[in-house]
Amino acid sequence: MSTPIRIGVVGGGRWATMAHLPGWARDPRCRVTMLCDCDSVRAEQVARDFAIPAHVSDYHDLVSSPSVDLVDVVTDDDSHLAITSAALEAGKHVLSEKPVAHDYQETRRVAGLARDRGLVTRVGFTFRYSPAVRYARDLIAAGRIGTPYIFNGYEQNSQWLDPATPFRPPPPTQDPDELWVGSLEGYGAPIIDIAHWFVGDSLASVVGTMRNFVPSRIARGSGALTRIKVDDGDIFLGEFRGGALLSIQSSFVTVGNYPGVEARIYGSAGALIVRLVEELGICETLMGATPDQVEFRPIAIPREYYPPGGSASESWPTLCYANLVSGMLDEVLGAVTTGQADFGQAAVVQEVINAVGRSVRLRGWVDLPLAP
| CATH, residue 243 | 3.30.360.10
Same domain, 216 and 357: yes
- Range with lowest mean pLDDT among 61-65, 147-151, 218-222, 266-270: 218-222
- Asked if the model's pLDDT at residue 124 lies above 90, the reply is yes
Same domain, 205 and 96: no
**How confident is the model over 310-365, as pLDDT tens digits?**
999 999 999 999 999 999 999 999 988 776 899 999 999 999 999 999 999 999 99
Given this model, what pLDDT does residue 219 score? 95
Per the CB < 8 A criterion, the answer to whether 262 and 92 are in contact is: no
Q: Is residue 85 assigned to a domain? A: yes
Residue where one domain finishes, among candidates 86, 119, 152: 119
- Asked if the model's pLDDT at residue 145 lies above 90, the reply is yes
Same domain, 110 and 137: no
- Asked if the model's pLDDT at residue 372 lies above 90, the reply is no
| Rounded mean pLDDT, 290-298 | 98
Residues of the chain above pLDDT 90, percent? 92
Given this model, what pLDDT does residue 171 score? 79
Q: What span, in angstroms and rounded, lies between the C-alpha atoms of 341 and 189?
A: 11
Given this model, what pLDDT does residue 175 score? 81
Same domain, 150 and 234: yes
| Rounded mean pLDDT, 116-141 | 97
Given this model, what pLDDT does residue 276 score? 97
Q: What span, in angstroms and rounded, lies between the C-alpha atoms of 315 and 127?
A: 12
Three-state DSSP class for 359?
A: helix
Q: What span, in angstroms and rounded, lies between the C-alpha atoms of 19 and 8?
A: 15
Same domain, 245 and 99: no
pLDDT band at 174 (very low <50, low <70, confident <90, very high): confident
User: What pTM did the predictor assign?
Assistant: 0.96
Q: Which domain holds residue 257?
A: 128-316+344-367
- Range with lowest mean pLDDT among 26-40, 164-178, 279-293: 164-178
Going edge to edge, which strands form the sheet with 245-251? 293-298, 285-290, 271-276, 261-267, 148-156, 245-251, 233-240, 203-211, 366-367
Mean pLDDT taken over the chain: 96
Same domain, 188 and 305: yes
Same domain, 21 and 109: yes
Same domain, 311 and 170: yes
Given this model, what pLDDT does residue 178 score? 85
Phi, psi of 351 (to 5 degrees): -65, -35
Q: Is residue 90 assigned to a domain? A: yes
